[in-house]
């Protein structure tokens, strides 16, 4: 039953037939709680908070804190992140992590200070609850390197775009929501250049990219890097930055129509990688249900990092603390308009896209082969699972699907 776990119950044996000697040894040397027990404690704590029973919830914090660490195994690291988020919610109900004061201090010496991604102080990873975009960008690159998920999305999306463009197409316009560093597009440029070399067409199509973001300077730097790479391949290229403050759907509706004005004989592709979940306004409003779904999602992510990287990996630590940690903070601690991360299941987006007239385009066998090669060469762990369902690709860890790629027209 939710809210029923106590410290004595946590440390007691589930087998009532143990003899007295075994019970005495268990009391003298209590076994550390299992991952299942820690999950139950987290859920019980979240349930009490959802019922505004804050004094009872605080009694769980000492147990959870003493059995968590940013440097432990995947369960200890996961609990560390969720207890931080629950602490923020408990101390400042409803506050948005992006607007929480920098001097906010939590239990277990949890302080918020702006630090570069990957830095440590007194063996503690310190992150800012203010907008530290530089740290997030750095961790995004690390995330792209140490996990297959973003590379899988980019590779498969690029192949879908490439296959949808007819040979001889004069121009292509790509709208990329939340373009970040633009790391997705150099491989596509390379593929376009190579395809032109292998045909009778002397030059690849002109490529326009409209990239959205929240920092105009970052957008300009991204555009400059892509322009230089395109020039090295002989590709005519234009970049258009589109500033969307706080991913505001209102600004999107205002400025996007002018951004999608097509030139003659220009194909249009819209790319949404890790963006759609931030624009949903119908994610689960019930805190406890949202907490449970987030716990399942990030348990699988942390387990995958545990199997992929060594315990001493600083990149893994930075990604867990800054990137995933910030997401967990937002999902667990923020409410209403202050909550930015609004993950939605694929089935929800599939229903929305179909309802407005989009039709799914099956991803090709070659795209599947590319994804399999990516996993086999760079992420050989058996835990990564690639599945095909209803003409869409799903990549996850063990039995938990985490990311999906689909193509629509």
Instruction: Tell me the pLDDT tens digit for each residue of 35-49.
Output: 889 999 999 999 999
The whole-number pLDDT of residue 129 equals: 35
Whether 354 maps to a domain, the answer reads no
First to last CA, the chain: 47
Asked if 359 and 391 touch (Cβ cutoff 8 Å), the reply is no
Query: Which residue from 211, 212, 208 is spatially nearest to 230, judged by alpha carbons?
Result: 208
Residue 18 has pLDDT above 70, yes or no: no
Residue 191 has pLDDT above 90, yes or no: yes
pLDDT band of 276, cuts 50, 70, 90: low
Buried b (16+ CB within 10 A) or exposed e, 238-261: bbebbebeebeeeebeeebeebee
Give dist(CA 143, CA 305) in Å, integer.
Answer: 10
Residue 116 has pLDDT above 70, yes or no: no
Whether 49 maps to a domain, the answer reads yes
The whole-number pLDDT of residue 7 equals: 29
Whether 161 maps to a domain, the answer reads no
The whole-number pLDDT of residue 90 equals: 83
Alpha helices for 72-165 (secondary structure H): 74-91, 133-146, 149-164
Whether 253 maps to a domain, the answer reads no
Give dist(CA 399, CA 275) in Å, integer.
Answer: 24
Asked if 108 and 83 touch (Cβ cutoff 8 Å), the reply is yes
pLDDT band of 10, cuts 50, 70, 90: very low
Lowest-confidence region among 176-190, 211-225, 261-275, 319-333:
261-275
Residue 20: C-alpha distances to residues 24, 25, 26 (Å): 6, 9, 10
Residue 121 DSSP class: B
Residue 370 has pLDDT above 90, yes or no: yes
The whole-number pLDDT of residue 221 equals: 94
The whole-number pLDDT of residue 399 equals: 87
Mean pLDDT, residues 139-158 taken together: 92
pLDDT band of 357, cuts 50, 70, 90: very high
Tokens (6 digits) for 19: 């003899």
Query: Which residue from 253, 162, 174 is spatially nearest to 207, judged by alpha carbons?
Result: 174
Asked if 117 and 138 touch (Cβ cutoff 8 Å), the reply is yes
Query: Nearest 5°: phi and psi at 114?
Result: -75, 125
Q: List, as one string, the DSSP characters of 41-87.
A: HHHHHHHHHHTT-HHHHHHHHHHHHHT--TTS-HHHHHHHHHHHHHH
Q: Which residues contact residue 121 at a Cβ distance below 8 angstroms, ignoring those fewer than 6 apart?
A: 113, 115
Whether 396 maps to a domain, the answer reads no
Higher pLDDT, 339 or 95: 339
Residue 3 has pLDDT above 60, yes or no: no
The whole-number pLDDT of residue 375 equals: 92
Residue 334 has pLDDT above 70, yes or no: yes
Domain containing residue 125: 7-142+284-338
pLDDT band of 20, cuts 50, 70, 90: very low
Whether 407 maps to a domain, the answer reads no
Residue 306's CB: how many other CB atoms inside 10 A? 19
What whole-number percentage of the chain has pLDDT above 70?
Answer: 73
Instruction: Tell me the pLDDT tens digit for each residue of 299-333.
Output: 999 999 999 898 889 999 999 998 899 889 888 88
Lowest-confidence region among 121-125, 223-227, 270-274, 383-387:
121-125
Query: Nearest 5°: phi and psi at 373?
Result: -65, -40
Total domain count, the chain: 1
pLDDT band of 361, cuts 50, 70, 90: very high
Q: CA angle at residue 272 from 268 to 274, to 5 degrees?
A: 170
Give dist(CA 97, CA 80) in Å, integer.
Answer: 16
Mean pLDDT of the chain: 78
Whether 164 maps to a domain, the answer reads no
Sheet bearing 171-177, strands edge to edge? 237-243, 206-213, 171-177, 266-272
Q: Which residues contact residue 363 at a Cβ distance below 8 angstroms, ignoring those fewer than 6 apart?
A: 156, 159, 160, 388, 391, 392, 393, 405, 406, 407
Global pTM reads 0.78
Lowest-confidence region among 72-81, 196-205, 271-280:
271-280
Angle between helices 325-333 and 74-91 (to 10 degrees): 40
Whether 130 maps to a domain, the answer reads yes
What whole-number percentage of the chain has pLDDT above 90?
Answer: 42
Query: Which residue from 49, 53, 28 is spatially nearest to 286, judged by alpha carbons?
Result: 49
For residue 365, how many C-alpha atoms fall within 13 Å in the half-sphere facing its CB?
0
């Amino acid at each position: 039953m939710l809210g029923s776990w106590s410290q004595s119950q946590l440390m007691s044996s589930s087998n009532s037939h143990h003899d007295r000697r075994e019970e005495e040894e268990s009391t003298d040397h209590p076994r550390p709680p299992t991952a299942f027990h820690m999950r139950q404690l987290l859920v019980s704590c979240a349930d009490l908070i959802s019922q505004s029973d804050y004094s009872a919830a605080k009694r769980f914090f000492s147990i959870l804190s003493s059995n968590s660490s940013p440097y432990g195994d995947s369960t200890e690291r996961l609990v560390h992140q969720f207890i931080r988020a629950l602490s923020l919610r408990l101390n400042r109900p409803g506050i948005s992590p992006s607007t929480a004061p920098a001097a906010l201090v939590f239990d277990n010496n949890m302080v918020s200070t702006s630090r570069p991604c990957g830095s440590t102080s007194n063996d503690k990873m310190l992150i800012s609850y203010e907008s530290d975009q530089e740290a997030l960008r750095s961790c995004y690159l690390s995330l792209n390197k140490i996990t297959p998920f973003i590379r899988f999305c980019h590779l498969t999306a690029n192949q879908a775009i490439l296959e949808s463009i007819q040979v001889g197409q004069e121009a292509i316009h790509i709208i990329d929501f939340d373009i970040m560093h633009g790391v997705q597009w150099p491989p596509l440029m390379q593929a376009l250049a190579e395809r032109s070399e292998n045909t009778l067409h002397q030059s690849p199509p002109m490529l326009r990219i409209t990239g959205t973001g929240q920092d105009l300077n970052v957008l300009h730097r991204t555009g400059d890097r892509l322009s230089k790479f395109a020039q090295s391949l002989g590709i005519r290229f234009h970049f258009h930055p589109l500033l969307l403050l706080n991913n505001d759907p209102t600004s999107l509706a205002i400025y996007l129509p002018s951004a999608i004005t097509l030139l003659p004989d220009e194909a249009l592709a819209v790319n949404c990688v890790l963006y759609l979940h931030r624009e949903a306004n119908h994610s689960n409003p019930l805190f406890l249900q949202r907490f449970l779904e987030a716990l399942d999602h990030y348990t699988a992510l942390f387990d995958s990092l545990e199997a992929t990287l060594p315990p001493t990996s600083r990149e893994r630590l930075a990604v867990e603390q800054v990137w995933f940690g910030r997401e967990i903070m937002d999902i667990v601690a923020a409410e209403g308009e202050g909550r930015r991360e609004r993950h939605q299941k694929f089935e929800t987006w599939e229903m929305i896209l179909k309802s407005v007239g989009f039709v799914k385009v099956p991803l090709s066998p070659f795209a599947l082969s590319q994804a399999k090669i990516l996993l086999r060469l760079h992420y050989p762990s058996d835990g990564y699972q690639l599945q095909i369902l209803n003409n869409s690709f799903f990549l996850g860890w063990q039995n938990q699907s985490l990311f999906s790629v689909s193509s629509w027209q």
